[in-house]
Structure formats: structure tokens, C-alpha cells
Amino acid sequence: MSAEGKGAAVLRYEDIEVGRKAGLDVTLGGELIDAFARLTGDVNPLHVDDAFARDKGFPGRLAHGLLVGAFFSAIAGTLLPGRDCLLQSARFEFKRPAPAGTRLRLEAVVARKVDAVRTLVLDISARDPEGNLVLSGRLQAGVRP
């Protein structure tokens, strides 16, 4: 995807209906977790050291919660509402940890439209293959004309 927004959906605010959904499948591989740790500086050993995480009772190192949350920026900016999106707020509730290697299904659903300010409220969720909720929350996104 380029800086010009090629590859991002171009949806008109007026055409987006409450209930519309968009989703993304992601795998939280070790290289991705390492890159996020380097980028953010969050090198907590729960995220970067398998042995440390196992000593704390986890099956291995864990993905950062905000790494999972960051993918919702990709959903909003490329899928729903897409190219003309400007995120205004995000709220995340971390329900359970996601060990390295976990595959997640992320979904955003339009819960409400605020026509006066061309804003969408999106309910978001991330679930593991067993359907367990890993993250839930809400995004608010303006749609530029």
C-alpha cells in the first residue's frame, strides 16, 4: 500500500450502513512480536523471552496487547471506512493473552453513525481459533468528504 492510499477501500459515508462488517485474519508470529518490541521499545520479557513467560505460567512469550489493537487501524484505514478514515478514538479491553503463533480473527462492525459530524462508531473484537475473545473495544472514526 502506498502513501496515496492505493489498496484502501473507497467508501462513501452515505453508503455505509449500521451493521456493516469488515474483518482481518492475522497470525502473531515471533518476528512480528520482535518487530513491535523494537519499534515501541516495549521489551518486557513476557513478550521477548519464552523461558521467562513459561516461568510465569504462560505457554511461551505473549503478543503485546497493543500489537493486536494496532491491526484495527489497518481495518479502519483500509477496509471500513477505508481511505477517507481519520481515527478519533480507540478503546481496547484485553480479555486474555495471545501467545506467539496465535492466529486471530479481527472484526469491526458499524454500531452507530453520527451524521452531523460524519462519524462512525465501530465495535471491535479479536478472537482466537477456538472463538475465545482476546480483545474487545470500540473505535470512533471520522469519514472525510
Determine phi and psi for 98, rounding to 5 degrees: -120, 110
What rounded mean pLDDT belongs to the chain? Answer: 95
Q: How far apart are the C-alpha atoms of 26 and 104, rounded to whole Å?
A: 5
Residues forming a β-bridge with 88:
none
CA distances, 36 to each of 70, 78, 89, 106 (Å): 10, 20, 21, 18
Residues ≥6 apart with Cβ < 8 Å to 136: 92, 93, 95, 123, 124, 125, 126
What pLDDT sits at residue 3? Answer: 40
pLDDT tens readout for residues 35-83: 999 999 999 999 999 999 999 999 999 999 999 999 999 999 999 999 9
Give the tens place of pLDDT for each residue, 18-27: 999 999 999 9
Helical packing angle, 65-78 and 30-40, nearest 10°: 90
The pLDDT confidence band at residue 2, using thresholds 50, 70 and 90, is very low
Mean pLDDT, residues 90-118: 98
Q: Is the pTM of this model over 0.95?
A: no
Q: What is the pLDDT of residue 81?
A: 96
